[in-house]
Structure 1
Amino acid sequence: MDSRIDFLNWLEIDMSMKILTSLEDPADLARISCVSRTWRQFVVENALWKQLCLRRFPQLSKVAHVVEVNDCEANEPSAGSSNSKECETLERDHRAYAILGRRCKEFAAEDCISEAIGASSTDNYPEESIDNTLEPRDIVARRASYWSSKGQSDPSVPETLIYKLDSDFYVVTEINIKPFRAFFQLGFPIYSAKYVRFRMGYPKSPSDLVSDSMKESSHDDKFIWTYTSQKFKMARESILQKFKLPEPILCIGGFVQIEFLGRVQKQTMDCLFYICVSHVEVLGQSLAPALAVEDLDPSGRFVLKNNLQAKGDCKPGLPKRKSRAITEQRARQLQGLINEFEDFDEDYAEYILALEDESDEEFVL
């Protein structure tokens, strides 16, 4: 026992850094911080949590600085020497990046879309709106539920769908898409694409998103995309196809774009190529309210905010609120059905009974 030594006191700092920065598991770095005050000080002064997070999420290189919020007010820097201010900054960064590192280690991914923002084109709006892709069922109110692009004679013309997540700071692991099978057309054609590609980012101006016209025809130039994925091959099957990202991606700003490349199905009626989608899921975990982003600018730089009052939030496996967009869509569909069958009480009563037989969980907010 008398021969025990602290290798941090014996090795050169460069060698100690080389050893500790080789650790990739956040749990290992957390344990190191608990060994002693000396080891914790080494972790803080050399920003090891920040370096670990930067290796996993290069987008964090755009963090301008970290702020801490307590009782809804940002902590103001205290007066003092430049050395004390530097220590405060290091401690503040340490706390924020330690939370981020631990939150991203293990979590139960869930669908995190809160709203459908817009499509590059829509064939028949609102019947074939992007809003339909939030509904997992193929049939809603006795009608097929799907989004359809406009027809194109050139099969290489791409299409895009844009969604808003339920927070502006998310770790995304997987995106699932179900191409639409037209069961009302001869041969039951599937209007999939050859490939899909994903982007994540934020709007240049939130005021650009208030117009409902984006549902029918979105404008990509209104967004700044901080991440672009590789191309994934899409199967010509009407199943929920899972596209797992090579590694978890930090979605800064809370918006996801799905780009469809290459059309494969021509409609017999007009000999034009279409892309149609039944359902979309974006799987991941929100880092809010513990962490949030502020002051996003056109260069991509932003402020990382650490909410000190949000302890215990964002635990894996907690039940998730259903999207308001889905509920509002169902209300519109139900009203349309009432109007359509107002003179046919028997059919309407049959439909209401069918609704009552469905799981109550689908309607819980």
Structure 2
Amino acid sequence: MEASLDFLNYLDENLSLKIMTCLDDPSDIVRAASVSHNWLHFVIDNGLAKKLCFRMFPQLSRVDHVVEHCCVARNPQVEAGSSNMEWETLKKEHRVYAFLARGCMSFAERKDCITEAIMASSTDRDPDESIDNTLEELDRVGWGRSYWSSKGQSNPAVPETLTYKLVADLCVITEIRIKPYEAFFQPGSPIYSARSVLFRMGHSLGDDFVWTYTSEEFPMDQESNLQSFKLPEPVLCIGGILQIELRGRVQTQRSDGLFYIWY
């Protein structure tokens, strides 16, 4: 077997760190930590799994500390207040962030990440035009119509929000799809679309919500088709709450001359 050299022993630490931070897959971080005792210490001491996790999902930078369930055997030689205690803490963070990063990457792609409608900022006729109707794929259910309608406004700039619960407290969101509603039962079949849309993600805090991510504003087509809005980067929603803000009203209703949004 040919002799090989460990570049960690010969390069400046900053240069070694620059090389190692080129790893962009959490599995590679774990493999690197398995190369040798020297590499294990380098990966853990420099928190490479944590740094990669933060690069992948900046929303995790708000995490204050991590807690690991008691699934790893505790080293009886570790004494409180010793340097070993700090090493054990770094190892715990390495395990948690490597697992979290890998788990987030391996989420199966699914189109039904929304599991429950929480609330709409306004509803014209509840329950007939409830936000729950937005979870139906079809515009008609049985003999009935299926859509949500806002209350009418004389000012077209008044926004509306739709808030939903996702399938899990941790979800990676890459794309959101929305379909404006075409009122086929009204003269001319008007489409009650918003001019633009933006998205917020976060968690609930009592009766309020805390938003850890807000997207850019996306223009909407004034068409009744399923429109896809791809986020610039995958977003880790911590807390499982998604809010859709619909901005700018386009269509008035003939019966009262007010602006509405229907989805």
Q: Please give the range of the TM-score, normalised by the shorter of the 2 chains.
A: over 0.9
> Match of 2:165?
164
> Match of 1:138?
139
**Residue 265 of structure 1: how far off its partner (Å):** 1.0
| Residue 194, structure 1, aligned to residue 195, structure 2 | yes
Letter of the 1:108 counterpart: A
Q: Secondary structure at the match of 2:173?
A: strand
Q: Is the 8 A contact 1:193 1:260 kept in 2?
A: yes
Using structure 2 for the length normalisation, give the TM-score.
0.92
Q: Is the 8 A contact 1:109 1:173 kept in 2?
A: no
**Residue 170 of structure 1: how far off its partner (Å):** 1.4
Aligned partner (choices 258, 261, 267) of residue 247 of structure 2: 261
> Match of 1:125?
126
Which range moved further: 243-252 or 98-107? 98-107
| Residue 44, structure 1, aligned to residue 48, structure 2 | no
Q: Secondary structure at the match of 1:157?
A: coil
Q: Deviations over 1:12-67 (max 9, x none)?
A: 21111111113323343333223223212211111001001111222211111111
CA distance in structure 2 between the partners assigned to 1:108 and 1:60 by the alignment: 20
Greater helix share, 1 or 2?
1
Which range moved further: 163-172 or 178-187? 163-172
Letter of the 1:141 counterpart: G
CA distance in structure 2 between the partners assigned to 1:23 and 1:60 by the alignment: 19
Distance verdict in 2 for CA 1:231–1:88, change over 3 Å: same
CA distance in structure 2 between the partners assigned to 1:82 and 1:186 by the alignment: 78
> Match of 2:256?
270
Q: Is the 8 A contact 2:107 2:172 kept in 1?
A: no
**Residue 2 of structure 1: how far off its partner (Å):** 4.6
Q: Secondary structure at the match of 2:66?
A: strand
CA distance in structure 1 between the partners assigned to 2:220 and 2:70 by the alignment: 46
Which range moved further: 52-61 or 251-260? 52-61
* Structure 1 unaligned spans of 5+: 209-221, 278-365
- State the number of aligned residues: 260
Instruction: Give the number of the structure with larger relative contact order, counting CA–CA contacts within 8 Å between residues 6 or more apart.
Output: 1
CA distance in structure 2 between the partners assigned to 1:228 and 1:4 by the alignment: 49
CA distance in structure 1 between the partners assigned to 2:79 and 2:164 by the alignment: 44
CA distance in structure 1 between the partners assigned to 2:136 and 2:183 by the alignment: 16
- Write out aligned runs for 1:216-365 (5 A): 222-277=208-263
Using structure 1 for the length normalisation, give the TM-score.
0.67
Q: Secondary structure at the match of 2:67?
A: strand
Letter of the 1:235 counterpart: D
Q: Is the 8 A contact 1:117 1:162 kept in 2?
A: yes
CA distance in structure 1 between the partners assigned to 2:81 and 2:51 by the alignment: 26
